[in-house]
Structure 1
Amino acid sequence: MNKHKYIEVQHAEMVFETKKGSFHALADVNLTIEQGEFTTLIGHSGCGKSTLLNLLAGLTTASEGVLLCGGREIAGPSPERGVVFQNHSLLPWLTCFENVHLAVERVFGARESGAKLRERTAAALALVGLTPAAGKRPNEISGGMKQRVGIARALSMEPKVLLMDEPFGALDALTRAHLQDELMRIVAQTGSTVVMVTHDVDEAVLLSDRIVMMTNGPAATIGDIVQVRLARPRDRVALAHDHLYIEYRTRVLEFLYHRQARPQKDAA
């Protein structure tokens, strides 16, 4: 697939007004993401990762600057940008199928038949391997399965961009690894553009085409970007001994724990 510039962040600033005064969260953020690219945002807590993701989702509006998706300004939430949060946010009284169907109905209900909407819902659940659990409610499935339903719900809207905020952060290590592999498979199948917030260096290197490393806040910005040139599909076991994987992992760790640790120590 020929890639081209799809998401653009131009001189984005974010200032929040609080009871204690103004808080400058993001300063002069500039970023371009190609169509079909998997980009992760990584940095210490409070570096503005989730703030930037919320700007891309249209959940908040930048104080200054412009954000574009597909050449159009991001002015609010849109089905073309699906969002998956760390908290799956499923409605507990609905089944897995019904939770996904609700999103499908909101996006396609005005122009498609009930049968087509059910078909879309079933396809989204099949994509994340949850067809057998379609009739179960959230309290009847595991945490990893709940997160899969959240991913299915986002994918069911056929978004051009998938925005993920620490989607596997609350899961145990084995479940997290399994869902990382599932996500790589899904993205390869759908060709989605993905922007994901993570604290996990290994997760960032495993999944990404590029790792965007944020400086410490306040007034956080992009400190460096690592281009991850690892062939796909990726095997986590084989990569553990790959010299390029180790090099990328080391670069991110050095940024986070040397370049970004010093200012905090000096201020102490």
Structure 2
Amino acid sequence: MVFSTPRGPFHALRDINLRIEAGELVALIGHSGCGKSTLLNLMAGLVQPTRGVLIGYGREIARPGPDRAMVFQNHSLLPWLSCFDNVLLAVESVFGRRESRSQLKARAQAALELVGMAPAATKRPGEISGGMKQRVGIARALAMEPKVLLMDEPFGALDALTRAKLQDELLAIQGATGCTVVMVTHDVDEAVLLSDRVVMMTNGPAATIGEVLRVDLPRPRDRVHLATDPTYMAARRAVLDFLYTRHSHPEAA
């Protein structure tokens, strides 16, 4: 992926070769500027690669589509709509032409229940906490029934306790829906706790995939139990070693 800039071409990514299996939860991790979000945007179809091609379920990814839903660090909810109506708007965009009004409302309600936000359905974003807003953002994405859920540091702006709760909820949701999840994160513990594989990116510019670590931990996962689990500790150490020993950030060198 090469971007045109006033100073000339900027090589963001090179030689990316990655296959993600249906139902996997994959974390992309690396230092700032390594192209994690760019790679996620490519998967979403928000930008097109300079060279090469992305294939999703047998088709070229040439544009955004309802089979891929995006969750950003900023919840991006419409402030003048209730939580329910924010979700319903997404449902209508995907299913509006082939389902009745009652069916659309049922989909929105089910998505809010899945993330524990049904009691706040009538509230507007300004009336709920940051963690609750992010839950609604996830509900909105899930209501579209995507094959792939793309998440760009979805819990990065939250406090530690809220982040931990939403991580646990994501594990439960992914287990219940079986959707494929690709998630950008800077948090090593988050990456290891949630993922089937951790994709570790080298430093930019012209970043690429340095290593891919398989996390062989059974599901469902319990963070308290895993805190002393040898497999968890070894995976965590491997990611830290990659990031801070073999690929320390240029600014820290």
Shared fold per TM-score greater than 0.5: yes
Identify the match of residue 223 of structure 1 among 210, 216, 219. 210
Please tell me whether residue 116 in structure 1 is matched to residue 99 in structure 2: no
Matched with 2:120 is 133
Describe how 1:134-173 pairs up with structure 2 within 5 A. 134-173=121-160
Secondary structure of the 1:66 match is coil
Describe how 1:1-268 pairs up with structure 2 within 5 A. 14-261=1-248
Q: Which sections of structure 2, spanning at least 5 residues, go unmatched?
A: none
Whole-Å separation in 2 of the counterparts to 1:17 and 1:255: 30
Matched with 1:3 is none
Once the two structures are superposed, what CA deviation does each residue of 1:16-71 show, in whole Å capped at 9, x if it has no partner? 00111110000010000000000000000000000000000000000001100001
Whole-Å separation in 2 of the counterparts to 1:241 and 1:186: 25
User: 2:31 touches 2:249 (CA, 8 Å); kept in 1?
Assistant: no
Q: CA deviation at 1:265?
A: 6.2
Matched with 1:10 is none
Equivalent residue letter for 2:132: M
Secondary structure of the 1:122 match is helix
How has the CA–CA distance of structure 1 residues 60 and 93 changed in structure 2, closer, same or farther, with 3 Å as cutoff?
same
Secondary structure of the 1:26 match is coil
How has the CA–CA distance of structure 1 residues 136 and 37 changed in structure 2, closer, same or farther, with 3 Å as cutoff?
same
Whole-Å separation in 2 of the counterparts to 1:154 and 1:43: 25
Once the two structures are superposed, what CA deviation does each residue of 1:160-204 show, in whole Å capped at 9, x if it has no partner? 000000000000000000000000000000000000000000000
How has the CA–CA distance of structure 1 residues 112 and 258 changed in structure 2, closer, same or farther, with 3 Å as cutoff?
same
Matched with 1:4 is none
Whole-Å separation in 2 of the counterparts to 1:136 and 1:257: 43
Equivalent residue letter for 2:98: R
Secondary structure of the 2:181 match is strand
Higher strand share: 1
Secondary structure of the 1:115 match is helix
- Return the TM-score normalized by structure 2: 0.99
Count of residue pairs the alignment pairs up: 253
- Return the TM-score normalized by structure 1: 0.93
User: 2:69 touches 2:149 (CA, 8 Å); kept in 1?
Assistant: yes
Equivalent residue letter for 2:119: P
Equivalent residue letter for 1:131: A
Whole-Å separation in 2 of the counterparts to 1:172 and 1:185: 20
Whole-Å separation in 2 of the counterparts to 1:34 and 1:128: 25
Q: Which sections of structure 1, spanning at least 5 residues, go unmatched?
A: 1-13
Matched with 1:8 is none
Q: CA deviation at 1:263?
A: 6.0
Secondary structure of the 1:83 match is strand
Secondary structure of the 1:27 match is coil
Secondary structure of the 2:16 match is strand
Once the two structures are superposed, what CA deviation does each residue of 1:206-243 show, in whole Å capped at 9, x if it has no partner? 00000000000000000000000000000000000000
Q: CA deviation at 1:261?
A: 1.6
Secondary structure of the 1:218 match is coil
Q: CA deviation at 1:147?
A: 0.2
Q: How large is the Cα RMSD of the aligned pairs?
A: 0.9
Secondary structure of the 1:183 match is helix
